[in-house]
Amino acid sequence: MYSFLNDYSEGAHPLVLDALIHTNSEQTVGYGCDVYCQKAKEVILKRIQNQNADVHFLVGGTQTNMTFISYVLRDYQAVIASDEGHINVHETGSIEATGHKVITKPHQEGKITVEMIQALLSEHTDEHMVQPVMVYISQTTELGSYYTLKELQTLYAFTREKGLYLFLDGARLGSSLVLEDAPNMAEIAANVDAFYIGGTKMGAMFGEALVIINDNLKKDFRFQMKQKGAMLAKGRLLGVQFYALLKDSLYEDIGRHENEMAMIIKQAFEEKGYSLYVPSFTNQIFVDLDSNIIQAIEKEFMVTHIKKINEKKERIRIVTSWATPVEEATKFAELIRTL
Amino acid sequence: MYSFLNDYSEGAHPLVLDALIHTNSEQTVGYGCDVYCQKAKEVILKRIQNQNADVHFLVGGTQTNMTFISYVLRDYQAVIASDEGHINVHETGSIEATGHKVITKPHQEGKITVEMIQALLSEHTDEHMVQPVMVYISQTTELGSYYTLKELQTLYAFTREKGLYLFLDGARLGSSLVLEDAPNMAEIAANVDAFYIGGTKMGAMFGEALVIINDNLKKDFRFQMKQKGAMLAKGRLLGVQFYALLKDSLYEDIGRHENEMAMIIKQAFEEKGYSLYVPSFTNQIFVDLDSNIIQAIEKEFMVTHIKKINEKKERIRIVTSWATPVEEATKFAELIRTL
Amino acid sequence: MYSFLNDYSEGAHPLVLDALIHTNSEQTVGYGCDVYCQKAKEVILKRIQNQNADVHFLVGGTQTNMTFISYVLRDYQAVIASDEGHINVHETGSIEATGHKVITKPHQEGKITVEMIQALLSEHTDEHMVQPVMVYISQTTELGSYYTLKELQTLYAFTREKGLYLFLDGARLGSSLVLEDAPNMAEIAANVDAFYIGGTKMGAMFGEALVIINDNLKKDFRFQMKQKGAMLAKGRLLGVQFYALLKDSLYEDIGRHENEMAMIIKQAFEEKGYSLYVPSFTNQIFVDLDSNIIQAIEKEFMVTHIKKINEKKERIRIVTSWATPVEEATKFAELIRTL
Amino acid sequence: MYSFLNDYSEGAHPLVLDALIHTNSEQTVGYGCDVYCQKAKEVILKRIQNQNADVHFLVGGTQTNMTFISYVLRDYQAVIASDEGHINVHETGSIEATGHKVITKPHQEGKITVEMIQALLSEHTDEHMVQPVMVYISQTTELGSYYTLKELQTLYAFTREKGLYLFLDGARLGSSLVLEDAPNMAEIAANVDAFYIGGTKMGAMFGEALVIINDNLKKDFRFQMKQKGAMLAKGRLLGVQFYALLKDSLYEDIGRHENEMAMIIKQAFEEKGYSLYVPSFTNQIFVDLDSNIIQAIEKEFMVTHIKKINEKKERIRIVTSWATPVEEATKFAELIRTL
C-alpha cells in the first residue's frame, strides 16, 4: 500500500546515493573537517551570497534545533515558538531538557506574527519570568504554510528592533524555495540570524546543514555539537550529500516535484469542496474529513491521523516527497473525486 | 505608606521569632538532622494522621517546587499546571532548568480541573511528546481561590486512575485551612501524593515543610535537596520555626487573621459594585479598576499592578498577612467606599 | 598518504553499502519501527541467546552513551569510569551536560578493576556526595586492551553485589569478539546490564545497537532517545546496516581483519624493542617514540599524536580498520624495521 | 557534650540576632531590593574600595557556588578545582547538575597552583573535551590552609593571562582576613573576578554575599538567582545580617576568635608531636590519630571522622567557631596533653 505518511519513507534520492557510493572507499579525516564538507560549505556560501557565514552539518532536525537553541540561550532565557512549533510539541521536550522554556502563542495559519511576539514580550517583564531572546519559525511550517519574503522581512525587522534572534528551521526548506513570493536562500540568509537547510525530508539519507549568519552565535559551536552527540564521526557523509543536493538545482527540483504532487491531491479536495485546515502550496496537506471517507482512503493509501475534530470528523495529513510517483498522486486524487 | 504588596513584607511572627531567639545559643547537628526538625516532623505527622510520611524542610517556595518536581520526573516527563501556575510563570523557568516541560491549559478560576488534565493527556500520546506524570496545584491558588475538599478528592481520584502524581503547593496553605469546605491538613495528606506547608508567606522568617505521602517518591530525597542547594546548614532554624507554627493553632490563627483582613477590603469593593477577577475568600484579592481609582489608592497604600486590561482599566492585587493591622485594612476599605 | 588515524576514515564496508543500496527505494515507517530494524533485532537476540532483551538503534557513540547513561541515572547519581574512559575525556562533558558526575580512578591497562570501584564506593558515603550507581567500561578499551570473560564475570559479580549497573560501550566490540579468552556476544549479554554493539567503527556507515538486558532499564527508553535527538527519522538505515553486519559472520570477520593488520605492525615495533604503552591484541596500538622516528613515519603515513611524554618522546596511536589493506600494514611494519 | 563538629552548630552571633530582632516588624519590599540590602552593599563596596562591583545576597554556600558557576559557564565549559574543592566532593554534584564538568588535579596543601591549572589546560585542547574557563578556589581552603596575598596575585595574573575567570569561595573568609600575609577584602577584590563573603559559617544565621568584580559576569544575574531558587523572598534578612557583620569589625573579630580557639588546640597537638595533615592557622584542624586516642577524645567532645588512613589511624577534623568558649578549647587542649 502506498504511503503518504511522510517525506522520509524512502532512503536517499538516487543522485545523493550515487554520491555516497562513489566516495565510499576514500579516506578522509573525521568530524566534518574533510574536503566534502568544505565543498558543500562553499556551495552554500555562494548560494546565500555571504562568505562570512558558518556552516555545520548535523544528523537530524530535533538534534539541530536542540543543539543550536541550547547553544544560543543563557540559562534563564527562553525561545518563542507558535503552539504548533515542532520544538514545542514533537521533540519530547528536548529544548526543556537542555534547560530552557519554550513560550508560545496560538499559531496564525501555522505561522508566527509580530503581534504574537509582542504579546509574549509584554508578558515577560522581570527576573521572576524567563527572558525571551530567540524566535523559532519553520519554513515551510508544520502545517504546510509558508512565510513570504515580505513576512520574513517584517519578522526580522521586528526581532532586530527588540534584540531577539530569529532562527528558521528549514527541515522542508526546498518546498518553499520554488514558491514565487517565498524567499530564496540568499533572501533567507539576509533575514535571519541562523537557519538550517533540511536534508532528511528533502532527499538526503539524513542530515541538516546549519547556517549561522550572526557573528555572535558562532564561537566554539563545535564544542556544543560534540557535547550534544551531534558531531558525526564520518562527517563527510553529510558533506557528500549536501554537495550533491546543492551544487546544481537538485534541491529545488525535489521541492518542486513534491509540491506538484501535493497540488494534484489538493485540487481534488478543493473540487469536492473540502477546504484544507490551513491553505497549503507545499508538500503537506491537512484536511478534516468524515470517518467513512478516511476509511475509504485507507483501503488504498497510508495517511496520518492528526486529531479528532468532532464525533464525525477527523483531521488527516497527506505528505508527498521527492519519491512520490505522479501515478500515485493521480490515483489518490482520482480516489478523492469518487468519494 | 502601608504596603499590601505581599505577605512577606515583615520578618517573622513574634512567636516564631521568640522560638528562634530562645534556641539560638544551643548546639545542634546540621542539615535538618537535629531535635527541632524531629519535633516539627512529629507535630506534622500527628496533624496529618499519617506516621509513614516523610517530612523535609526547605528554605523557599521556588526551591521546594524545583527540587521536588525535578526529583519525581524522569528526563522525558512533564508536569501539568494551569497557565497561571506559579511554576509556569513566576519561577524564571526553574522547572525547565532542571530539564522538564510544564504543560498547561487555561485556569478555571485559578484552578485545575479534571477536564484540563484529560485534554492534556489526550494530546500527549507517544514518544515524540513529553510524558505527563504529575499534576501541580496550589492551595490557595495564585489568584486567591481555593480547592474544596470535594474538588481535591475529585482531582486525586482522577490522577490516581490515570497514574499521575498529585502535588500541592501550599505556600499559602494556612489561609485555606480555616475555610469551612476546604480540606484540613489530614484531608490534604489523604488526597495528594505530596504537598508542602508554606512558612515564608505564613509567618515564618522563611521555610517550607515538604510532606511526602507516596512511598515511591521518598528514596534518597536528601541527595536531591543537597544537590539543588536546598539543604540548609543550620537546618534547625526550620525545625524551630515550624514547630512554633504548628504545635498549637498559630498556623491557623494566622490564616484566619489574614482572611479576615482581606474580607474587610473585599466587602468594600463589593459594596461599590466592583467584582473581583476571581472569587476570593482568602488573603489575595484581584480586582480590575480604573486608573484614576488606582492612583487614589496609591496615595495611601502600596498595591501590586498585575496587568493592563484595556485603555482605562488595570488589574491590581491586594495581599493581607499575619501582620496586617485591623486599622490598615479598615482604612483601606473606607478609602474604597469614598472613591 | 595512507591514514592510520582511525577506524572511521572510510564510508561503509561494501556489503553494508550494498544492503543500503538494495533497500533504498522501499517505503518503510520511520523511527526504527520498520521491518529491517525488526530483523536486525531478531539476529541480535539470537546471538545473545536472550529473547527478552530490548534493542535500540542509535547513530553514534557519544550519543548512545549520553542517551542511555542519562536515562539510567537519577539526578543525584553518578557513573564510574576509568580516567581514560571515553565518557570522561572525549565527549566534551556530554554526561555532565545531562546533569551527572563521572567519577574516576586511574585506569589499570585501560581497564577498571573491582578495587577501583570499591575505592570510589568507599569515598561516596552520604547525601553530600553523588551516589554511584553505574559502572561504564569499554570493550575494547580506549587504549586497545580488552576484558577477558573472566574479568568481565568478576566485575559483574561485584557490581551486582553492590547494587550497581554495569554498562559496556562496544564501539569496537568486534575487535574483541575474535579473541580467544574474550567474551562472545552471548557471554557479554550474560554479564552486563546493558551494552552496545558498535557500528561506526566496525564497518557501518554509522550506527550503534544498544542492547538492554536488565528489565529495570527498559521502560519508555524511546522517549529518552527522541528527546536527546537520538531517534533517526529513517531508522531503517540502521536496521539494514546491522542486519548486514550481524546476520552472518561479517562483524567478526571485520574484527579479525583489523586485529591481524594491527598485529603486523605491533610485531615490527616489538622486534625493534619498542614496547607498547598498554599490551594490545586489538586494532589500536599506542607506542612512545622518539620525535625523529615519528617524523620518519609521518613522511609516509598519518598517525595520531596522543601526548608528549618528555623532551624527546611522544605517544602516538595507530589504528587499523576493516578497510586497511595488507599492503599498507606491511609497508608500515617494514618502515618501522628500517628506523 | 561539646561539639567541635563545625562552625554552624549554633544560631546567629548575638549582634546579628539583635539586628534581626530590631528590624523584624518593619515592612520592606522583597527579593533583596530593600534598604538593608542596599546598606550592606554600600558597606561592602567601601570595604573593597570598588564602587563598580555588583553584590547579591544568597542563602547558602552550595547554592551560591552552583548559581554563580552555572551562570558563568556556557554549556561546554568547565570549572577547575582541586580534588578536595568543595564543589568537587561535597555538593552532591550540584555543578554537574547544571550541566558542567568539574576538572581537577590533586591539591597542594589544600590549594591550587599555577602548575595544576597549566596541566589541565594542556590536557584540554580541542572540541572533544570540555573547555576550562574558570578556576574555583576557597579562602580558607577545605583543609584549613589559606592563600597568601602573593599566592593569590600569582594565581590571578596567570588566570588573566590564560583568559580564565578566578572565583573565590569565601565561606570561611573571615578566618583568613585576620592573618598577616593573607589578602584583606580589598586585596581579594582586586585579585579575583568574583568572590563571596561567607555568612553561614561566620556568625550569620545564614547567608552569603556574592561580590562580582568582572563586568562580563554581571548582566541579568538576578534571573539566574531566581531560577535556581536562590532569591530569598524576605531578602532583607540577608541585608540586615551582613550589615551587622560588616559595618564595623564584627566579621574580623569572629575570624580572630575562631582562629585563636583553634590555635589553642593545635598547640596541644604539636606539643604531643602530632603533625597536622595540612599546616593550619585557621579554624579547621585536620590530624591523623590512633583510634584509641580518638575514642578518648570522643568521650568528652564531638569531632568529625574524615577518613581511615590505615589499620590503626584515622583522620579527624576539629572546627572552632565564633561561639567556641575559651574554656572548651582549653579543656580540649588539656585533654590532648594527657593522652
Verify whether the Cβ–Cβ distance B99 to A101 is below 8 Å.
no
| Other beta carbons within 10 Å of D190 | 17
Q: What is the pLDDT of residue C338?
A: 94
Residue A90 near chain B (CB below 8 Å): yes
Pick among C69, C95, C98, C223 to test the B interface (most B CBs inside 10 A): C223
Considering the domain architecture, whether residues B75 and B164 belong to the same structural domain is answered as yes
Contact assignment for D76 to A223 by CB distance below 8 Å: yes
**Partners of residue A222 in chain D, C-beta under 8 Å:** 127
CA distances from D106 to B337, C84, D81, D103 (A): 72, 17, 9, 10
Nearest residue in C to B224, CA atom:
C76
Residues of D in contact with A99 (CB under 8 A): 99
For the residues A276-293, what does the mean pLDDT come to?
95
Q: Which of B206, B231, B246 is the last residue of a domain?
A: B246
Is residue D166 located within the same domain as residue D273? no
Q: What is the pLDDT of residue D277?
A: 93
Confidence class for position B194, pLDDT limits 50, 70, 90? very high
Q: How far apart are CA B110 and CA B86, in angstroms?
A: 11
* CB-based contact A229 C232, cutoff 8 Å: no
Instruction: Judge: C129–D92 Cβ closer than 8 Å, yes or no.
Output: yes
Same domain, D198 and D277: no
Identity of the residue numbered B29: V
Of D225, D246, D267, the position where a domain reaches its end is D246
Cα A30 from Cα B312, distance rounded (Å):
64
Distance from CA of C61 to the nearest CA of D (A): 13
The share of chain B scoring above pLDDT 70, in percent, equals 100
pLDDT tens string B32-83: 999 999 999 999 999 999 999 999 999 999 999 999 999 999 999 999 999 9
C255/C141 same-domain check? no
Q: A259 and A122, same structural domain?
A: no
Give residue D275's pLDDT.
83
pTM: 0.97
A27 CA: distance to closest CA in chain B (Å):
37
How many Cβ contacts (< 8 angstroms) between chains A and D? 47
Q: Compute chain C's Rg from CA coordinates.
A: 20
> Is residue A275 scored above 90 in pLDDT?
no
Q: What is the pLDDT of residues B114-148, one digit of tens each?
A: 999 999 999 999 999 999 999 999 999 999 999 99
Instruction: CATH number of the domain at B306, please.
Output: 3.90.1150.10
Please count the residue pairs, one from chain A and one from chain B, whose beta carbons lie less than 8 angstroms apart. Answer: 55
The answer to whether residues B69 and B208 belong to one domain is: yes
Closest residue of chain B to C70, computed from CA coordinates: B75
pLDDT grade, residue C86 (50/70/90)?
A: very high
Residue A220 shares a structural domain with residue A320? no
Residues D209 and D306 in one domain: no
Q: Which residue of D has its CA nearest to B32?
A: D9
Q: Do B41 and B59 sit in the same domain of this protein? A: yes
Q: C334 lies in which domain range?
A: 2-7+250-338
Cβ contact A71–D75 (<8 Å): yes
How many domains, chain A? 2
Say if residue B275's pLDDT is above 90: no
Q: A75-90 pLDDT, tens per residue?
A: 999 999 999 999 999 9
The one-letter amino acid code at C21 reads: I
**Does residue A34 sit in the same domain as residue A155?**
yes
B283 touches chain D (CB under 8 A): no
The C-alpha of B138 sits at a distance from chain D's nearest C-alpha, in angstroms, of: 18
The answer, for B125 touching chain D at a CB cutoff of 8 Å, is: no
Whether residue C200 has pLDDT greater than 90: yes
CATH number of the domain at D191, please.
3.40.640.10
Q: What is the pLDDT of residues A38-62, one digit of tens each?
A: 999 999 999 999 999 999 999 999 9
Q: What is the pLDDT of residue D182?
A: 98
Cell digits for D148? 597568601
What letter represents residue D296's amino acid?
A: A
Same-domain status, A303 and A196: no
Tens digits of per-residue pLDDT, C232-285?
Answer: 999 999 999 999 999 999 999 999 999 999 999 999 999 999 989 999 999 999
Q: Measured between alpha carbons, how far is residue C325 from residues B319, C4, C321, D203 in Å? A: 80, 11, 9, 72
Give me the interface pTM, i.e. the ipTM: 0.96
Which residues on A lie below 8 Å from B78 (Cβ)?
Answer: 93
Tens of pLDDT along C24-66?
999 999 999 999 999 999 999 999 999 999 999 999 999 999 9
The stretch B244-252 carries a mean pLDDT of: 98
Domain boundary residue among A199, A215, A246?
A246
> A213 with A186: CB under 8 angstroms?
no
C 200-239 residues inside an 8 A Cβ radius of A: 200-201, 205-206, 223, 226-234, 237
Residue from D180, D198, D178 nearest D261 by CA: D178
CB pairs under 8 A between A and C: 148
In chain D, which residues have pLDDT < 50?
none
Q: Band the pLDDT of B317: cuts 50, 70, 90.
A: very high
Locus of grid cell 505577605: B7
> Given an 8 Å threshold on Cβ–Cβ distance, is C29 in contact with A9?
yes
Q: Same structural domain for residues A88 and A190?
A: yes
Q: How far is it, in rounded angstroms, from Cα B86 to Cα B109?
A: 14
